[in-house]
């Protein structure tokens, strides 16, 4: 009877350890994927490569970066080192900010 309890305890400990390990592994992979940005050279419907530098990605906000905001970064064509940075917030869930960026600011 004592041997059964020890085996059951060891199995339960192994299952819990495996579960915690998998949760940590998947949460780290999700966080890395969400936080990465990527430079885009082509857009659907646009003929050829883009004539400007465009990056997209997510940035974490909130006390522990629990919320993610999608962003577009368009580098200045004239002098990126000296030109001011403009932060343009528009859009929302299911509402792209691309049209506001292109039509309201102009590119």
One pLDDT digit (tens) per residue for the chain, 107 residues? 555 555 555 565 556 554 544 444 444 444 444 456 688 899 889 899 999 888 888 888 888 888 888 788 888 888 888 988 877 776 666 666 777 767 776 65
pTM attached to this predicted model: 0.50
Residue 10's SS3 state is: helix
**Which tokens belong to 27?**
């949460």
Which pLDDT score, from 0 to 100, does residue 27 have? 46
**Local structure of 60: helix, strand or coil:** strand
What is the Cα–Cα distance from 30 to 94, expressed in whole angstroms? 21
CB 89 within 8 A of CB 81: no
């Amino acid at each position: 009877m004592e041997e059964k309890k020890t085996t059951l305890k060891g199995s339960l400990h192994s299952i819990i350890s495996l579960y915690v390990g998998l949760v940590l592994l998947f949460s780290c992979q999700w966080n890395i994927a969400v936080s990465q940005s990527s430079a885009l050279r082509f857009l659907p419907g646009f003929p050829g490569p883009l004539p400007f530098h465009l990056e997209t990605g997510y940035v974490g906000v909130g006390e522990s970066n629990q919320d993610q905001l999608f962003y577009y970064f368009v580098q200045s064509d004239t002098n990126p080192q000296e030109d001011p940075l403009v932060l343009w917030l528009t859009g929302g869930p299911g509402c792209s900010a691309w049209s506001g960026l292109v039509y309201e600011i102009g590119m």
